[in-house]
Amino acid sequence: MTTPPLWTVADMAAAMAAQRSGPLPDSIVGLSIDSRTCSAGEAFFAILGDRLDGHDFVAKALANGAALAVVSAARRGEFPADAPLLVVLDVLEGLRNLARAARARSPARIVAVTGSVGKTSTKEALRIALRADGETHASTASFNNHWGVPLSLARLPETARYAVFEIGMNHAGEITPLVAMVRPHVAIVTTVEPVHLEFFPDVAAIADAKAEIFTGLEPGGAAVINRDNPHYERLKRRAGAAGVKRIVSFGEHPKADARLVKYALQDDGSTVEASILGTLADYRIGAPGRHFVLNSLAVLAAASLAGADLALAALALAEQRPATGRGTRTDLFIGDGRALLIDESYNANPTSMAAALAVLGRAPLGARGRRIAVLGDMLELGAAGAELHRGLVDAVAASTIDLVFCAGPLMRALWDALPAERRGGWAANSEELEPQVLASVHPGDAVMVKGSLGSRMGPIVKALARRYPAPAASDDLPVRG
């Protein structure tokens, strides 16, 4: 099947005020900023990043089949005269201009998501819920920063009925220019928690930064806010100050507009009964954890506000699965038995760590199995870092975790607070902790690995998968335990 054009080159050039150079195609089918994954027929944007300059990879992108490259005028002389190029003053600003053009031409109903925790999973749940009612475009992975948002927006097809964008920040003022491009009809704040405290004086300041998302709402748009969060009233006031007239709350609070009535957690998902803007909905979520249950209320409220069919959206949530590094599950084959590996290694903060420990606490075990948490430092917590790590001891106890392995200087605070019988091992970093973990996993265990990206817990997940791979295909695989 032929991929439909995303942009004509004429429209791209006009949107970016670009000069055309070399033999150019009539249209392109996609946009890329990574020469390694740039596909045939796509436009490669040579963005200057923190470590690398995309101009150094233009030749590779074109060799891989890119239809053209977008380069800066200052670097044009480095490429052959017959190279297919669109030349702009600044490549990132060119991408932003293309994103604005995509938004201007789109008839889609748009939802934007921010929050201290749960942005990506909520965005993915919205993708699933909305596509049950029509063509839906959504950000890839966690493309939620100064280049990820414009790239995701510029990829918005003109034919999409709905679109979902994740917007992140770790400093005040970062959301405002991004939401001004996206101009959503619905804006969600999942929650406000002590995340990125290194860059803020307190959590109230984080709430104010998250509330910037309301400044870009389209006239008549709606704000969806967590009623259970202690900063609800602050967020509500900020939304009102931004001119938002429709403010919708979600949570367990008895006055929440999208209210949780009851739910049942299982190790592979949850069943939920909720009142969504006055309509009763019974549905199943295909991802385990109470945090998915609560955020589903925001998802269904937003879907309804965007004009989607609520029944179809609720039914579709059974398809939701944890994203890579955010709760994905793999069997480890150890001798004649199995252990369960839960990969939460993508990132961590105190709230998501407690949620992940709660999920581990419900994970199935085999005979003589143990629940094992392998935890790396949670970063960007500022002066409160040691205290917040130490405070995880309560979540460990509440989730009946049997053994805890800790990596990093901040996790030493948790290690010191743990009772002796729950101490699995501590090391200065994940590389040194890895052999301790590999040697400790037994058949029947459930192992969860989590930490901030900078604590590098992902390699432990990969090492476990390599050490205990699935056997060759067989009709008689062993059961876990």
Q: What is the predicted pLDDT for the residue at 480?
A: 39
State yes or no: pLDDT of 51 exceeds 90: no
Residue where the block lists tokens 């003022």: 173
Instruction: Write down the pLDDT at residue 473.
Output: 55
| Among 58-62, 178-182, 220-224, 287-291, the least confident range | 287-291
Predicted confidence at residue 474, as pLDDT, reads 45
Query: Residue 345 annotated as binding?
Result: no
Q: Please give the full DSSP string across 433-463, using - where no structure is assigned.
A: HHHHHHHH--TT-EEEEE--GGG--HHHHHH
27 is in an annotated binding site: no
Task: Give the up-direction half-sphere exposure of residue 313: CA atoms within 13 A in the CB hemisphere.
Answer: 27
Instruction: From residue 297, give the alpha-carbon distance in Å to each of 69, 259, 273, 320, 337.
Output: 42, 7, 10, 14, 39
> Any binding-site annotation on 462?
no
Q: Are 114 and 169 in contact (CB under 8 A)?
A: yes
Decide: 434 and 406 in contact? Cβ < 8 Å: no
In the chain, DSSP finds a helix count (H) and a strand count (E) of 16, 22
What is the spatial distance between Cα 301 and Cα 247, in angstroms, rounded to a whole number? 11
State the pLDDT at residue 1. 56
> pTM of the full predicted structure?
0.87
On whether 54 is known to bind a ligand per the annotation, the reply is no
**Which domains does the chain carry?**
7-89 (3.40.1390.10), 106-319 (3.40.1190.10), 328-467 (3.90.190.20)
With a cut of 60, say whether residue 478 has pLDDT above it: no
How many Å apart are CA 169 and CA 131, to the nearest integer?
Answer: 27
Rounded CA-CA distance 195/1 in Å is 45
Label residues 91-130 b or e (16+ Cβ within 10 Å = b). Answer: bbebbbbbbbbbbeebebbbbbbbbbbbbbbbbbbbbbbb
Taking residues 450-475, report their average pLDDT: 88
Q: Cα–Cα distance between 304 and 284 in angstroms, integer?
A: 17
Q: Which DSSP helix (H) or strand (E) runs through 432? A: helix 430-440
Q: Residue 245, annotated ligand binder?
A: no
pLDDT on residue 477? 41
117 is in an annotated binding site: yes
Question: Comparing 376 with 266, which gets the higher pLDDT?
Answer: 376
Q: Say which residue the tokens 């920040």 belong to.
A: 169
pLDDT for the residue numbered 325: 87
Helix, strand, or coil here: 181?
A: helix
pLDDT at residue 279, as a whole number: 98
Mean pLDDT of the residues in the chain:
94
How far is 479 from 298, CA to CA, in rounded Å?
38
- Please give the DSSP secondary-structure letter assigned to residue 157: -
Q: What angle do CA 427, 431, 434 make, to 5 degrees?
A: 75
120 is in an annotated binding site: yes
Tokens coding 364: 């199935």
- List all residues 6 or more positions away from 433 whose beta carbon is below 8 Å from its beta carbon: 374, 405, 406, 407, 425, 426, 427, 460
